[in-house]
Structure 1
Amino acid sequence: MELDERRISRVIIERFMEKLLDSVDLDVAIVGGGPAGLVAGRDLAMRGAKVAMFERKLSLGGGMWGGGMMFNEIVVQEEAKGILEEVGVRTVPQGDGYFSADSVEAVSTLISAATRAGLRVFNCVTAEDVVMREDRVIGLVITWTPVEMSGLHVDPLAIRSRFVIDATGHDINVVRVVERKVPGRLFTPTGVAEGEKSLWCHRAEQLTLENTREVFPGLYVAGMSANATFGGPRMGPIFGGMLLSGRKAASMIWEALGGR
């Protein structure tokens, strides 16, 4: 068979457009492709939700790729290792309830498991705004990340979603948008994003899970976004809280969807 460049291009364009057109109306839109977002996306897709992920970078995985200071090993605690193991990531006991895993294996396996479960991924796409009706987030405004980076004046597109998860980590990009549009209306003690505190692994891991919740009608926070929104500390290269947070967010949203 002689390869035809036109045919190759046509397949790519047609397949991408099929995915994009079928994602204009979603049950759940996840912004940010780190560990919390990947776990939430996999869990929701496995339950039958129509869910898509929008990641501004070329690759998914957030900070998990680099482990600690580019030593590509991660640590999880007993409560979270099962999430890695159920998708096939090997964990190694290190005593005292600590388990290690190769960060490259962990990220690549989580991505594979999530996409195979049915999560649609749109990388190099930035959520620059939200769609709102009657004080509720009902979707995202998206554009290509290179367009945003270059400052080109190009109008974006919009998608509808019954729920949105901000899993953008330290930057809490979606939360910050909502905070600007409706000041003082977040479900935090002060009505605004509290910002993350200094590193404290133990407390941060606890609060990551506790702070995973709805922060504005239709908008949930998960992973480091939860702590950055509600004022918890950062935790460094231990990722159990991230994984558990993604699972909690998925469960809460599935219940809000009616558990169908």
Structure 2
Amino acid sequence: MPALVHGLRPLGLAMSLLAVPTRSYSAPPPKESAAAAQLPSSFRWSSSGQLISPKPDASHSVVSVKDPTVVQANGKWHLFMTTANTAGSWSLAYTSFTPQSWSAPRTFQNAAPSGTLDYWTICDSAMCYLFSADDNGHVYRSETTAGEFPGGFRNTRLVLQDSKFALFEGGAVYRVQGTNTYLLLWEAIGGDGRRYHRSFTAQGLTGQWQPLAATEANPFARATNVTFPSGAWTRDISHGELVRAGNDQTMTINPCRLQFLYQGLNPSAGGDYSQLPYRLGLLTQTNSSC
């Protein structure tokens, strides 16, 4: 995949994403009970090496790439990410093709809890829901009708609560293909100071979230349940996104052999947060029950 954003080195991301056989995403949707059983109660992963990293040149000083969002459409992978430079300034980067145009700005949400960030939108046939974090142990959900989207989010409510670092930021919500089961992932900070992901499930987007793999001992994704065939380049499995089965607003995943695009960094890195040398890597599930 060519890097069309200056200062980025893609390092074979497209090949890694396409490594999952196409047939696994074209199979008929599984029955409710079968598909739900395909989400194990514990997960094992294998990680790639660094796939996206900064490429310094005369006009750019990017030190970090993070917070990936990836989707496949029209035969291409479209990747958005956050970048930081040596001055501590944040930017949005994109690779795969040149964007053609943007619509005029609209008000997305009139009111939100103080300090919320890392917004995630997912819809069913009638409603759209906005999930967000506040870096203080709270997960919020707002809603609007599909017809009003992308505006009108209201009825904000607290849907999960824990200690500050147990529900920190970087959340995502997906529908499990062929079911009414939804999977919520949330980034946490472990007792060792390293980032990892917890997981919860609910029946329906307004259902009660129940822990799936949600502890430091049994996480969704943490360095302790990931192997690194090319060498352990990170101990943080931070802010990421599952590769979806399609590209519509239902955020549907096929539960067979999940892949998770995430940010990690050299374990010895330190200093100001904006200067941490985050890179992007890809986890592939190795214990699928399919």
TM-score greater than 0.5 by the shorter chain: no
More strand, by proportion? 2
Scaled by the length of structure 1, what TM-score is found?
0.25
Scaled by the length of structure 2, what TM-score is found?
0.24
More helix, by proportion? 1
